[in-house]
Structure 1
Amino acid sequence: MNKKWLAVLCSLVVLAAGAAAMLINKPNEDDFVQWFSDNYEVDCLDDQCYTLQVASTDNVYWNAEGYYDSSTGFLNMGMQIKRLYRHKEDPNQLFSIEAEGFWGNFKEIDFQPNDVEVSRRE
């Protein structure tokens, strides 16, 4: 095998390893739930945090509406998620969060507390 083919083969191996690393680190809803509960004073009552309790109160909220787009970011390796939580007994009491994830990390895009006492963790 000459040096040209060896260089091509090595390049393909490096590209394949890079693509595999990107796929492994692509965020998902579980990563969002972990980020959300680590950064906000909420206690998730189920695995996907569709129902939660605000830590400073006894108020329970449920995920009324939301979306997530897993095809955002460089080479579709990111995701964007938005959730709207409504109070179980008073649907007019609500808050929403929108976050963007890339390479396993999330950042807040928008948070609308709408008079709900949801604080950030220190």
Structure 2
Amino acid sequence: MSKKGFISLGLLGFICIIIILIFINKPNEDDFAKWFEDHFNVQCEDDKCYTLKLSDNSGDSVKNRFSFTDGYYDNAEGFLGLGMQTKRLYRSINDRNLFFSIEVKGFFGNFEVIDFSPNKVDITMK
């Protein structure tokens, strides 16, 4: 094989490795849960943040517990399907009239809030 062929093969291999690394770093629900805890006053009670409690000074953990009740998760967003988008509606475990929703999109480890509706719930960004 000629020198030009080796260079072309090496370039193709390099591009394949870059694409594989990007796919490995594609965000998922676990990444969302970590980001959610880091950027809002919530403490997830499971790895996908389906149940959470609000971090506040009142100490009333029963009043401040919420569970994921509705929404969607789409992992085929963005360029070549390398992003994700999720919308979650959380309702209070004790008072079903108390709820909030959040919708975010993520790409390569970064998340952006599309819509956030606290609906009288004491949830804030850090």
TM range (shorter): over 0.9
| Residue equivalent to 2:38 | 38
What do you get for the CA RMSD once the two structures are aligned? 1.0
Give 1:91 shift: 1.1
| Residue equivalent to 1:16 | 16
What SS does the corresponding residue of 1:7 show, helix, strand or coil? Answer: helix
Mapped to 2, the partners of 1:19 and 1:118 lie a distance apart of: 38
Mapped to 2, the partners of 1:108 and 1:71 lie a distance apart of: 17
Mapped to 2, the partners of 1:47 and 1:32 lie a distance apart of: 10
Q: Does 1:64 align with 2:80?
A: no
Query: Which residue type is aligned with residue 18 of structure 2?
Result: G
Q: Does 1:89 align with 2:119?
A: no
* Structure 2 unaligned spans of 5+: none
| Residue equivalent to 1:118 | 123
Give 1:6 shift: 1.3
Give 1:118 shift: 0.1
**Deviation sequence 1:57-113 (CA, Å, 0-9, x none):** 531100001111000011100000111000112111100011111011111111100
Q: Does 1:76 align with 2:81?
A: yes
The 4+ residue runs of structure 1 with deviation greater than 3 A are: none
TM-score normalised over the length of structure 2 = 0.91
Sequence identity (%): 48
Query: Which residue type is aligned with residue 79 of structure 1?
Result: M
TM-score normalised over the length of structure 1 = 0.94
The count of residues paired between Structure 1 and Structure 2 equals: 121
Mapped to 1, the partners of 2:26 and 2:45 lie a distance apart of: 25
